[in-house]
Amino acid sequence: MNTGQTMLTVGAMVLLGYTVLMTNRSSLTHGVILQQTEIGVYMISLAISRIEEASGRAFDAASAGDIVTSTAALTAGGSFGPATGETYPDFNDFDDYDNFAKIDTIPGVDILRVHSLVRYIEPANPDSVLNSSTKTFHKRMDVTVTGTSTSDTLRMSYIFSYWAFR
């Protein structure tokens, strides 16, 4: 083999090595993106599950058995959260989920924290939260999901309104 053939062989080996390196790097990046996407989907699933679970409860402790016709009968905003003796998963109304946090683990991947806040809102301006002494027939739940290994934070809001047929 002469010098020209040796140079071509060395050049081909360098090109092959570079191609293999780029393929491996691309595969690794793809794996990281795939894992982050899976964590994101799981975070959305946890937030929606919390919202669906809470919205399946009564609007308020006062409306659990009776029809409420005045906001005066509703729980004060400062008293949201589980009543004495109430524990998860036996909450009986929507506002029991106020300031409730639960840890969920994806084995070998991440530890996620699901936290929810419940507040009364004004129907004309649902983005504003009312003070704890003002009651309405509309409550908003803000769910936040954070992870230990992901830099993403997921926030979802849900408005639950009270209505009854007579």
Structure tokens at 59: 């609007």
Give the model's pLDDT for residue 51.
Answer: 97
Give the model's pLDDT for residue 66.
Answer: 85
Read off the pTM: 0.80
DSSP collapsed to 3 states, the chain: CCHHHHHHHHHHHHHHHHHHHHHHHHHHHHHHHHHHHHHHHHHHHHHHHHHHHHHCCECCHHHCCCCCCCHHHCCCHHHCCCCCCCCCCCCCEHHHHCCEEEEEEECCCEEEEEEEEEEEEECCEEEEECCCCCCCCEEEEEEEEEECCCCCEEEEEEEEECCCCC
Give the model's pLDDT for residue 115.
Answer: 97
Per-residue model confidence as pLDDT tens for the chain (166 residues): 688 888 888 888 888 888 888 887 777 777 778 888 888 999 999 999 999 999 999 999 999 888 898 999 999 988 999 988 899 989 999 999 999 999 999 888 889 999 999 999 998 888 888 887 899 999 999 999 999 888 889 999 999 999 877 6
Q: Which residues of 81-95 are buried (b: 16+ CB within 10 A; e: fewer)?
A: ebeeeeeeeebebbb
Give the model's pLDDT for residue 166.
Answer: 61
**How many CA within 13 A on the CB side of residue 78?**
4
Amino acid letter, 57: R
- 154, 144 in Cβ contact below 8 A? yes
Give the model's pLDDT for residue 5.
Answer: 85
